[in-house]
Structure 1
Amino acid sequence: MIYITGDTHGDFSRIEKFCDEYSTTQADTMIILGDAGINYNLNERDIELKEELAQLPITLFCVHGNHEERPYLIDSYEEKIWNEELAYFEEKYPNILFAADGEIYDFEGKKSIVIGGAYSVDKHYRLRGNMPWLESDLTLIAGILKN
């Protein structure tokens, strides 16, 4: 079964409740649109979150948001074909997948193109607030503007 939800910002408590209530399995997929918060800190905190999420009885398919490092820029991620298209994953966490922008995935016979979240232009606001700033936010904006 395919399920869809919005941003989690690193808080997966509602996903955990959902899995319990609906007795999901890793054959089920939860599509997370936007900021999942899984690659937000790029430190031990992210690893702890991934360890917890790896225990969930569901496959998480994440479409990156605007304040999360792109998995293709993180050395521990690998590519694989999933639902007929390219996806990113880490071997230690096979139920946590990230979409590749522009791919057209097949979800139980329904095709969906993936285009990740808005790219952030709030660098100074984030830095003043002591929040992480990912250089890929700015790089991708520049790439979009050039094309």
Structure 2
Amino acid sequence: MAVYVTGDTHGDFSRLGIFAKTMGIRAEERKERDICIVLGDACLNYFCDARDEANKEEVSRLPFDLFCIHGNHEARPETVEGYEQTEWHGGTVYRQKEFPHLFFARDGENYDLAGNKTLVIGGAYSVDKDYRLAYGYRWFPDEQPSEEIKQRVERKLDETGWKTDIVLSHTCPLKYQPAEMFLSGLDQSRVDRTTEMWLDGIEDRLSYGKWYCGHYHVDKQKDRIEFLFQSIRLLG
């Protein structure tokens, strides 16, 4: 079993299909299906109606399990009808029984993936919030981690002694923000960076090996932080 990781898909999973075909990945030939992690904004819980169901049916044809981190352009699975909590690779995930190969992470859980203890922290602020509201695109008020979620994450870290092998998040610690990807013409003083500031404090205290994040639509690495968008990597 291999575990891959990639950036935001925004409902378009064509690159994953091309990747699977290129790599010769066939689910029926494996005892355990490979896993592909999407670092937020998979957008499979965007419309919360039949349109999402059709997209999930299409994605379910991919020859690996899809493990999605919460982004900022999608509903939290716990707020969508039909999701149940179940145990998966040592942590709690959300899954709909109609789609047994689609899994959605619960913030603060530590999953065992390819032998790595893997901490998940989703969510981010939408810098395009005003645009989305003005033009009728969906915006989700609970896009950022709440105080309750932050406390749960920190309790989990207390339990593990503030150690993990890998971190999967949507946005990144404040000190690592790729300023070159900021939207031109946007007043940066209006951007809510409380999640990034909180992640900065997490990163300062945490003993970890590698940190993957999406959100910024860039493929780059700085220190142990790797931003992914179109690229697909083996985890770790």
Match of 1:16 in 2: 17
Q: What is the Cα deviation at residue 141 of structure 1? A: 5.3
Q: What is the Cα deviation at residue 93 of structure 1? A: 0.5
Give yes or no for contact 1:119–1:141 (8 Å, CA) kept in 2. no
Letter aligned with residue 70 of structure 1: R
**Does residue 53 of structure 2 align to residue 47 of structure 1?**
yes
Match of 2:133 in 1: 127
For 2:102 and 2:46, the matched residues in 1 are separated by: 15
SS at match of 2:126: coil
For 2:119 and 2:143, the matched residues in 1 are separated by: 21
For residues 41-120 of structure 1, the aligned pairs below 5 Å read: 41-120=47-126
For 2:22 and 2:128, the matched residues in 1 are separated by: 38
For 1:19 and 1:118, the matched residues in 2 are separated by: 29
Match of 2:6 in 1: 5
Q: What is the Cα deviation at residue 120 of structure 1? A: 3.2
TM-score (norm 1): 0.89
Identity %: 45
TM-score (norm 2): 0.57
For 1:94 and 1:22, the matched residues in 2 are separated by: 23
Q: What is the Cα deviation at residue 35 of structure 1? A: 0.6
CA RMSD across the alignment = 2.1
Q: What is the Cα deviation at residue 124 of structure 1? A: 2.7
Of 72-81 and 113-122, the range deviating more from structure 2: 113-122
**Does residue 142 of structure 2 align to residue 136 of structure 1?**
yes
Give yes or no for contact 1:9–1:37 (8 Å, CA) kept in 2. yes
Q: Which runs of 5+ in 2 are unaligned?
A: 151-193, 195-236
For 2:141 and 2:42, the matched residues in 1 are separated by: 18
Q: What is the Cα deviation at residue 96 of structure 1? A: 0.6
Letter aligned with residue 51 of structure 1: E
Q: What is the Cα deviation at residue 7 of structure 1? A: 0.2
For 2:8 and 2:78, the matched residues in 1 are separated by: 20
Give yes or no for contact 2:123–2:143 (8 Å, CA) kept in 1. no
For 1:41 and 1:53, the matched residues in 2 are separated by: 16
Q: Which runs of 5+ in 1 are unaligned?
A: none
